Amino acid sequence: MTARTGLALYAPERGRLTVKAADGIALRLGIRCGMPLAQARAMQPDLNVALSDPAADLAALEALTVWCQWLSPLTALDGTDGVWVDTTGCEHLFGGEDQMAERLLTRLTRAGYSARLAIADTAAAAACVVRSSRQLATLVPPRGQETALRPLLLDGLRLHPETLITLRGLGLIRVGQLLDMPRAPLARRFGQALLDRLDQAMGRLPEPLSFTAEPQVSRVSGTLVEPISTAPAIVRALAKLVDELAEALTRRNHGARQLLVQCMRVDGTTQSLQLGLSNASADPIRLNRLLGERIDTIEPGFGIEAFTLSATETSPLTVPENRDWLVPANDPASLAALLDRLSGRPGIKTLSRLQAGASQFPEREQTQIGRDSVQKMEEHASSSIRSPRPARLLRTPSPIIVRAFWPDGAPKTFQWSRISHTIRGVIGPERLWSDWWHDPTGACARDYWVAETVEGERFWLFATHGGAGPDAERASWFLHGFF
């Protein structure tokens, strides 16, 4: 059996070593932040400890702040362990605040983070709630910050440590106690800063936030001693720039999603080459290969004397880099590299894949989505179809004439394209309902039948009706597929 010892980070503080952070195992063993390291080791002799690196932690938090800009362009640091995101007007893009919170937590978990989040009207209220709640996601109702903050401890208000110690000495430990106190004595004793913190949390006073700007576009340039005009020379010149760009992107843990090559010719004109990648990459071999396959589109004219290579769109690297698409099929990055190479081939205009659509009608059960989502194979919805489906589905159902019926209402003979067919056996009916957003005034239901003729052919037929069942004499019948 393996012992669970836990991990704690420590740092010097006021002449002694103090625990600054602890993982879940260490916390369950009684290790707490602010505890002397000697006491922690006395409690758990096998505790794993490491010296904390505040600079590296801050750099990682800044990178996370920029990463969160896929959710909203307005993000800011919240102390040393939090990120603010102003999602005003963004929640409808994700289906509401609850679904937005679920998606953010899912992506953070996939990136290796353990996080909690809170959504509130004010930044101060969200910061206080998220540091006091044990829930992964807390949604404070609109104008409900006072109700949510009253039972919480004062630690989440980000007060000055000396102010917090004095308030505790006076028996004030919760936000509700401060809210019930007269404001004038609080201002005389603790200054206006305490009241400002309360007003910011309640939404009575705006809180200035220093939002993080997105990093500048990564760009490298190079000037040649003599103009060049051959493809091999252009490849060698771009390879040097790719190495510099890849190194700059790797330092930021970012990869290129869009590349722009600008070639300055001796006649003063500029040739441009732009290409996109299915996922972020800072691998020079992959970037060089993609550029090399597009070199023939550059017209050097009388010669090229300078190059500029820019990563016009970047994103954090969240998956291991893949250097070639000729790798085992179980490597998830291989598909992205293959898509990049296919996109650059002549004659290939669009890459797309089928995805389950929001409809029960067969012609709408699948939709095509674009190249950016082709590699996300895990999004494929599993089919819940229980009855047989034809191998060939007509693009548009073809009208037929049913001339006779079995006693249960199933078709017995039908005519299609001037040919009559006699049915000897049927399977069905299977009822499918329409979507009101597609057919607000049309038929709302279909009854499908698998019909086998005396010649051995199998057809997929359906009758439309309003939901109560088809009228044998007035129903409209259609052929939709072949088995």
Q: Could you give the domains of the chain?
A: 7-52 (3.40.1170.60), 56-202 (no CATH), 218-343 (3.30.1490.100), 392-482 (no CATH)
pTM, entire model: 0.47
338-346: which pairs have CB atoms within 8 A and are 24 or more residues apart?
A: 339/278, 339/371, 339/374, 339/375, 340/275, 340/276, 340/277, 340/278, 340/286, 340/290, 341/289, 341/290, 341/293, 343/275, 343/276, 343/278, 343/371, 344/275, 344/290, 344/293, 344/294, 345/293
Q: Please list the pLDDT of the chain residue by residue as tens digits (483 residues).
A: 345 678 889 988 888 899 988 888 888 888 988 899 999 999 888 888 989 888 888 888 888 888 888 888 889 998 888 999 999 888 888 888 999 999 899 888 888 888 899 999 999 999 999 988 888 999 999 999 999 999 998 888 888 888 888 988 888 889 999 889 898 888 888 888 889 888 989 988 888 888 887 665 588 888 888 999 999 999 999 999 999 999 888 887 888 888 999 999 988 888 888 888 877 888 899 899 888 888 888 888 889 999 999 888 888 876 444 444 344 445 545 566 666 666 655 555 566 666 666 566 776 666 666 555 444 444 444 444 556 788 788 888 899 998 888 887 888 899 988 888 999 888 888 888 776 665 555 557 888 889 999 988 999 999 888 766 777 667 888 998 898
Alpha carbon of 301 to those of 123, 214, 269, 271, 298: distances in Å? 57, 37, 9, 10, 9
CA distance 32 to 18: 10
Task: Write the burial class of residue 22 (CB in 10 Å: 0-12 exposed, 13-18 middle, 19+ buried).
Answer: buried
**Residue indicated by tokens 């390879």:** 239
